[in-house]
Every structure is written in structure tokens, then in C-alpha cells.
């Protein structure tokens, strides 16, 4: 064969290979589509939901910038539940059936979480809860595809009672049986659940429970509740609410001269300092809040060494999104930390060990997560309860702490192992609510 002919044949062969390679489409990178649902409008947005959305978004954007997880791209589709349970359900179904998401994540309001969890389970899709706390979401429901990294509401209610019980003699000068307590709460799944924990804790401590009352979070007037509290004369009020109901309660309490020694709030509206300060002014001082610890308050030396740089990153992104924030809300850190657990523990294991991101693969991966204390930015570990547990899907290692607001700062005061300062249990004499 002449050299010329050889070159011609070689050229033709190269042309054929080039043509064939052009005809074969590039293999698309696999991806996971995540539907993220929070309240971006309506009263719950300012009550904490929009901050939780920000925490998840910071973490989603972080992993998108990293190029995804284990070769999978991440695509998030955000939906607004508009502070309405029926909208939350409809959005979850729309994301699954029309947008073809592989899973749903987020959820602030327990009143939405309870029905949405049942619907997502019915559709055999995976649901990862970063936020809502009601025990009713998981308790005795035998859900296979619903997992929650967050503590449950009953833990919130019991912790606050235990805190007062252990400090009553020293800081209130009273035996437990002489401490008068009142439990007030919004009457949705969240408030009812925390109040149930409060009641169990009050019974265990032996407190004198002088009032337990629920109200609608959208009530235009809470003066009747304030009147009942004035008659009941509690030393300590345990309040579970969103906002604007918290602001309304405090305004009418002040107008009607309600006096008490201490008030402990339980997350949601009590965890949004800017909104609380806006509604209460200086009277926000010495109020308590029960929530998972702020990631900016954890003892970083006790955490997995890879976590402190991430805490710094979340803080920087928070400051960019909300410049001028006095106290970084624990809400942002909570959902950032809880979603980080999904992206670093559940998702990679699901892809590598179980071959993809369908609901069963994600479920199997979630059940194998085993993080010790210090394994998350929130300080607690992660181990999800299995099918044999009455709270299947709950993170059994999650726990809240109690913080107190003083002079535009938030201090962890309980448990003692995490405390940054001593708790000031009674309002100082001369302050608005103080009976002294």
C-alpha cells in the first residue's frame, strides 16, 4: 500500500471516529432534585421560618459550589408554604408529582409537618426535617421515609421545667411545691406538644400548676388570657408561640400590669431576637429561650475539627444576607447544621453504598448515620430511631439548651455543661414584669 493511500485511509478512519464521537451524546451528570419548603410569606416567615430557609439555602449553595456530592449535582427547588398547612401539603405534592423532586426538606411549622409527613410517606418519597419539633410528626406513626435531625417538642417542654426545678430553691427561694407555674401556648401541633412536655415536667418536679391554656396563634386579642394569668399569679410563665402572637401577649401583659418572676419561651418566635426586641424593647432582657444551641455558641474545641470552619462560613453568609444583625439567630445555624448532616452523612452513603437517591436508598443510608456528641455544629450527635421504635425517624441524640437574653446578647445558661454564665432567674426589681 502506498504511503499516500495509507494516509488517506488513516484520515478517513479519523473522520469516521470523529463523526461517531459527535453522534454519541455526552453522558449527563446524575443529580438529586430537592424540594425545599418553608414559609417565606405570612406570619410564620418573620417568626423564624425565613431564617431557617436561609440556613438551608446557605448549605445547599455551599455544596453546589463544591460541585455536588459523590458525582451528583444538587438542584434545589424552593417553595413557599405561605404560613398555611394546606399550601404546604399542596406544594409538597406539586414538587413530587410535577417537579419530580427526589425528596423534600425543610418545614418550620409543626401544623404543616404533621400532615405533610403523612402525605410524603404515602407518595413513598424521602422527607428530611430540619426544623419543626412536634412529637406528633413521628410518634406512633411508623413512618419509613420521614427523618428528623432536630430535637422533639416534648424535650423542649421538659428541659425548661427541669431547669426551674433545679434552681428554684437557690434562685427563687422556694421549694418546688410552692412554685406557681403557668403554661400558655398556641394551640397548633407545636404549642400543644411543647405544653405536653411542660405539663409532664411540672408534674415530675411537683410544681403548683395554676394555669394551662391554649390560644390561636392568629388571635387578635389575648387580654382574656392575661386576665386569667393575673388571677392565677404564677411565679414562672412557660410560653410557646410564634409571632405576632408573642408581641401581642407581651403588649397586653404590660398594659394590664401583669407581674411574674420569670418567663421561658420555647423556640419559634422566642428564637428571633430582632423581632422580639422590636416588639418588647428593653423588656426582652432576662427572658429565656429553649432551642438547640446557636452554632456560634457551641464549645468549638469539643466539635469534630472540620466543623468550626463551616460555622464561620455560615456566619459570614448570614451577615451578607442580613447585615446589621445584633444577635445571629440560632434558627439559621440549626437548619444549616441539620441539612449539613444530610449532605455529608445521608446523601454520600446513599449514592456509594445503595446506588442512588431513591427513597429506599436514602432511608437505608439515614438509618446507618452514627455521629457521636460533637459530631454536628449543634454539638449533639445523630442516631435515627429505627422501625422498632415508637418515634421511628427521630434523632435520638438531639437536645436543646436554654439561653437568656441580656443587653443585646444571648447566653447559654443551661445545662451547666454548656453554660456561658449564671442564669438570672428572677426579673431584677424595678423591671416591667418584676413583682418586686
Residue ranges making up the domain that contains 146: 31-151+305-367
pLDDT at residue 2, as a whole number: 52
pLDDT at residue 46, as a whole number: 87
142 and 65 part of one domain: yes
Report yes or no on 201 lying in a domain: yes
pLDDT at residue 321, as a whole number: 96
286 and 410 part of one domain: yes
Q: Is 71 left (phi over 0), alpha (psi -120 to 50) or beta?
A: left
253 and 111 part of one domain: no
- Which SS3 state, helix, strand or coil, does residue 71 take? coil
Distance separating alpha carbons of residues 144 and 309, to the nearest angstrom: 34
Helix H segments across 98-244?
110-122, 153-167, 189-205, 223-232
Cβ proximity of 435 and 261 under 8 Å:
yes
As for how many domains the chain has, the answer is: 2
pLDDT at residue 17, as a whole number: 46
335 and 267 part of one domain: no
269 and 409 part of one domain: yes
Report yes or no on 328 lying in a domain: yes
Give pLDDT < 70 ranges for the chain: 1-27
pLDDT at residue 382, as a whole number: 97
Report yes or no on 279 lying in a domain: yes
Report yes or no on 379 lying in a domain: no
Q: Identify the CATH number of the domain in which residue 190 sits.
A: 3.40.50.2300
pTM: 0.82
Distance separating alpha carbons of residues 371 and 178, to the nearest angstrom: 42
Q: What is the β-pairing status of strands 401-406 and 409-414?
A: antiparallel
Report yes or no on 387 lying in a domain: no
Pick from 130, 34, 161, 148: nearest CA to 331: 130
68 and 178 part of one domain: no
Cβ proximity of 217 and 43 under 8 Å:
yes
117 and 64 part of one domain: yes
Q: What is the β-pairing status of strands 236-240 and 180-186?
A: parallel
112 and 175 part of one domain: no
Report yes or no on 3 lying in a domain: no
404 and 262 part of one domain: yes
pLDDT at residue 7, as a whole number: 53
pLDDT at residue 24, as a whole number: 47
140 and 168 part of one domain: no
Distance separating alpha carbons of residues 426 and 436, to the nearest angstrom: 10
Report yes or no on 74 lying in a domain: yes
Report yes or no on 425 lying in a domain: no
161 and 275 part of one domain: yes
96 and 163 part of one domain: no
Amino acid at each position: 500500500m502506498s504511503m499516500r493511500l495509507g494516509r488517506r485511509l488513516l484520515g478517513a478512519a479519523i473522520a469516521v471516529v470523529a463523526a461517531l464521537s459527535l453522534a454519541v451524546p455526552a453522558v449527563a451528570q446524575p443529580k438529586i432534585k430537592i424540594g425545599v419548603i418553608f414559609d417565606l410569606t405570612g406570619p410564620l416567615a418573620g417568626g423564624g421560618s425565613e431564617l431557617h430557609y436561609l440556613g438551608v439555602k446557605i448549605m445547599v449553595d455551599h455544596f453546589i459550589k463544591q460541585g455536588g456530592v459523590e458525582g451528583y449535582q444538587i438542584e434545589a427547588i424552593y417553595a413557599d408554604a405561605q404560613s398555611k398547612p394546606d399550601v404546604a401539603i399542596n406544594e409538597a405534592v406539586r414538587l413530587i408529582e410535577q417537579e419530580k423532586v427526589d425528596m423534600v426538606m425543610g418545614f418550620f411549622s409543626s401544623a404543616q409537618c404533621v400532615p405533610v409527613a403523612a402525605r410524603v410517606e404515602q407518595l413513598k418519597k424521602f422527607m428530611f426535617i430540619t426544623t419543626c419539633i412536634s412529637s406528633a410528626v413521628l410518634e406512633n406513626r411508623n413512618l419509613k421515609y420521614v427523618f428528623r435531625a432536630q430535637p422533639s417538642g416534648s424535650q423542649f417542654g421538659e428541659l425548661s421545667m427541669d431547669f426551674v426545678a433545679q434552681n428554684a430553691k437557690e434562685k427563687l427561694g422556694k421549694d418546688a411545691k410552692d412554685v406557681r407555674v403557668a403554661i400558655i401556648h398556641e394551640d397548633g401541633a407545636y404549642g400543644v406538644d411543647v405544653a405536653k412536655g411542660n405539663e409532664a415536667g411540672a408534674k415530675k418536679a411537683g410544681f403548683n400548676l395554676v394555669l394551662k391554656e391554649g390560644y390561636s396563634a392568629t388571635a387578635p386579642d389575648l387580654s382574656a388570657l392575661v386576665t386569667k394569668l393575673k388571677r392565677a399569679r404564677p411565679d414562672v410563665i412557660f410560653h410557646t408561640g410564634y409571632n405576632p402572637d408573642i408581641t401581642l401577649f407581651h403588649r397586653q401583659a404590660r398594659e394590664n400590669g401583669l407581674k411574674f418572676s420569670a418567663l421561658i419561651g420555647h423556640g419559634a418566635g422566642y428564637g428571633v431576637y430582632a423581632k422580639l426586641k422590636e416588639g418588647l424593647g428593653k423588656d426582652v432582657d432576662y427572658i429565656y429561650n429553649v432551642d438547640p444551641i446557636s452554632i456560634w455558641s457551641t464549645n468549638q474545641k469539643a466539635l469534630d475539627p472540620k466543623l468550626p470552619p463551616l460555622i464561620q462560613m455560615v456566619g459570614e453568609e448570614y451577615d451578607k444576607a442580613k447585615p446589621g444583625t445584633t444577635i445571629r439567630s440560632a434558627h439559621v445555624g440549626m437548619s444549616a447544621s441539620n441539612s449539613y448532616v444530610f449532605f455529608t452523612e445521608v446523601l454520600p452513603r446513599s449514592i456509594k453504598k445503595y446506588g442512588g437517591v431513591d427513597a429506599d436508598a436514602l432511608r437505608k443510608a439515614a438509618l446507618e448515620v452514627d455521629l457521636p456528641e460533637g459530631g454536628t455544629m449543634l454539638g449533639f450527635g445523630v442516631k435515627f430511631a429505627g422501625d422498632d421504635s415508637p418515634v421511628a425517624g427521630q434523632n435520638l441524640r438531639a437536645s436543646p439548651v436554654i439561653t437568656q437574653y441580656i443587653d443585646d446578647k444571648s447566653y447559654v445558661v443551661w445545662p451547666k455543661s454548656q453554660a456561658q454564665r449564671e442564669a438570672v432567674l428572677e426579673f431584677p426589681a424595678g423591671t416591667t414584669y418584676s413583682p418586686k
